[in-house]
Amino acid sequence: MTQLNINVHHVTRVEGHGNITVNTKDGKIEEITWAIPESPRFFEAMLRGLNYADVTWIAPRICGICSIAHATASIQATEAAFGVQLSEQAMLLRKLLYHAETLQSHVLHFYFLAAPDFLGVGSVFPLVNTHKEVVLRALRLKKLANDLADLIGGRKTHPMACIVGGFTKLPEISQLKVMQQRLAQAMDDLRETVKLFKGLKIPNFVRETEYIALKDPKEYAFISGDIASTDTGTAPIADYLSITNEFCVPQSTAKFSKHNRDSYMVGALARFNNNYAQLSPEAQKAAEDLGLKAICHNPYMISVAQVVESIYAVEESLKIIDQLMAQGLKEEKPDVKVKAGRGIGAVEAPRGILFHDYTYDDKGVLTEANCVIPTNQNHNNIQKDMEALVPSVINKSQEEITHLLEMLVRAYDPCISCSAHFLEVKFV
């Protein structure tokens, strides 16, 4: 075996900064570290002393890629604290906005960030010349998702129309109609995406772990339900701290997590593993075509689970639009009465389960906040995957091992700005 000296300082094509270090001597692994040097942001401190309307305005700034997930978790935590009941129309719009972000984020990840690895290039940019159809398809899907988010949330990044208790602006029926046609056409692009993924060679690596996601008896859960684990069953979201168990490690500004085992996974694969039976028939068919079967223990299959979920997101969006068009949209004034209390918002961000936990005083001013970010919950699982992966591929070249490690990190689609509230590979 060759002496390994891997040192990837800032893994690319991920959101934020993370480092991988692998160090071997005389055939023995001395060190494998996944470290996060991202600048800490201090949101939990910054939100203190702010009025609830400003809290829910600032909290999405934790992350530019999943700002809708943070906005929704923030709004739902606040609604839970005040006891606000949401109308059916507002709930439908919130879900529609949410599906837009899931689609946007998944397309960005599997086409722009992960696919270049399978096609042997360093970024999506050269694919413009070699795989123009693929790039144009990716851009069409992304634009559709972004336009849908613009229409419902006012803007895709840091949306403003979604507030505590509902929405400040409603789409026109004519705009929904155009969106309905575009979403229906997008199903063809997604079918082509499934064909593309069928041809990709996904690394075969298996490590059993625990999968945690929201679960709702009524539907494939994104913004409602209890916390489900493939090991221990369901628990109410009020018990989230006993599930996430965050702890600090010296190499990272992001916290790490563990529950029933050494580590657990959240995200598209965790959702699929817990809730696959609730997917639509076409999404289930895509999973079958792509060889994804619950419970899947290969982290490189996360991107495949994202393709499957994208189909689901488009189909669900179509259903919601049908319903909104059938019942008509009416202006509603959010009914918010401020009161002292604590509330927890739990949602499935594209990268996994996200918690915002707020305590407010009787004037609606935040006194305490805790945010548990999906990527933080995955960091420890990434570390454990690396520890299992490296010995299994130790006879490959340093270059190949480095690439497999980077691909592994990318598969998790980490969102490191969020998690520090980290990514670099270091082979020393």
Partner 1 sequence: MKAKLAFFDFTGCEGCQLEVLNFETELVELLNHVDIVNFREAKTESEDNYEIAFVEGSITRESEIPKLKKIRQQAKIVVALGACACLGGVNCLKNFRPMKENLRIVYGDAAKYYDTIPARPISSIVPVDYYVHGCPIDKKEFLKVTKALLLGKRPEIPNYPVCVECKLAGNVCTFDKGETCLGPVTRAGCNAICISNGRHCWGCRGPVDDPNTNSEKEILQKHGLTVEDILNQFRIFNGYLEVSK
Is 49 or 83 the residue whose CB approaches partner 1 more closely? Answer: 49
Residues in contact with partner 1, shown as a per-residue x/- string from 236 to 275 under the rule CB under 8 A: ------------x-x--x----------------------
- Position among 25, 143, 195, 363 found at the interface with partner 1 (CB under 8 A): 143
Cβ neighbours of residue 204 closer than 8 Å, sequence gap 6 or more: 298, 300
Read off φ and ψ for residue 136, nearest 5 degrees.
Answer: -65, -35
- Position among 2, 3, 30, 40 found at the interface with partner 1 (CB under 8 A): 40
- Position among 12, 234, 245, 278 found at the interface with partner 1 (CB under 8 A): 12
In order of 20, 155, 182, the CA distances from 256 in angstroms are 16, 32, 41
Residue whose token pair is 């959702």: 271
Residue whose token pair is 């059993």: 208
44 near partner 1, rule: CB under 8 A: yes
The CB-of-253 to partner 1 minimum distance in angstroms stands at 6
Site size for partner 1, by CB under 8 A?
Answer: 57
158 near partner 1, rule: CB under 8 A: yes
Q: Which spans in 199-234 are helix H?
A: none
396 near partner 1, rule: CB under 8 A: no
Q: Residue 158 burial by CB count (10 A; 0-12/13-18/19+): exposed, middle or buried? A: middle
Short-list 196, 50, 64, 195, CA closest to 118: 196
The CB-of-40 to partner 1 minimum distance in angstroms stands at 6
- Position among 113, 320, 347, 386 found at the interface with partner 1 (CB under 8 A): 113
The DSSP secondary-structure symbol of 278 reads: G
In order of 4, 66, 226, 254, 362, the CA distances from 257 in angstroms are 28, 20, 19, 10, 33
CA distance 134 to 343: 44
- Exposure string for 65-74, b = 16+ CB within 10 A, e = fewer: bbbbbbbbbb
417 near partner 1, rule: CB under 8 A: yes
Q: Which residues does residue 51 pair with via DSSP β-bridges, in sequence order?
A: 365
63 near partner 1, rule: CB under 8 A: yes
Structure token pair of residue 220: 């494939």
- Position among 81, 103, 108, 305 found at the interface with partner 1 (CB under 8 A): 108
Stretch that binds partner 1, among 89-97, 158-166, 322-330, 384-392 (CB under 8 A): 158-166
Residues 137 and 202 sit within 8 Å (Cβ to Cβ): no
62 near partner 1, rule: CB under 8 A: yes
CB atoms within 10 A of CB 91: 15
Stretch that binds partner 1, among 6-14, 267-275, 355-363, 372-380 (CB under 8 A): 6-14
15 near partner 1, rule: CB under 8 A: yes
45 near partner 1, rule: CB under 8 A: yes
The CB-of-395 to partner 1 minimum distance in angstroms stands at 25
The residues binding partner 1 (CB under 8 A) are 10, 12-16, 39-42, 44-46, 48, 50-51, 54, 57-58, 61-65, 67, 108, 112-113, 116, 122-125, 128, 135-136, 139-140, 142-143, 146, 154-158, 160-161, 163, 167-169, 248, 250, 253, 417, 421
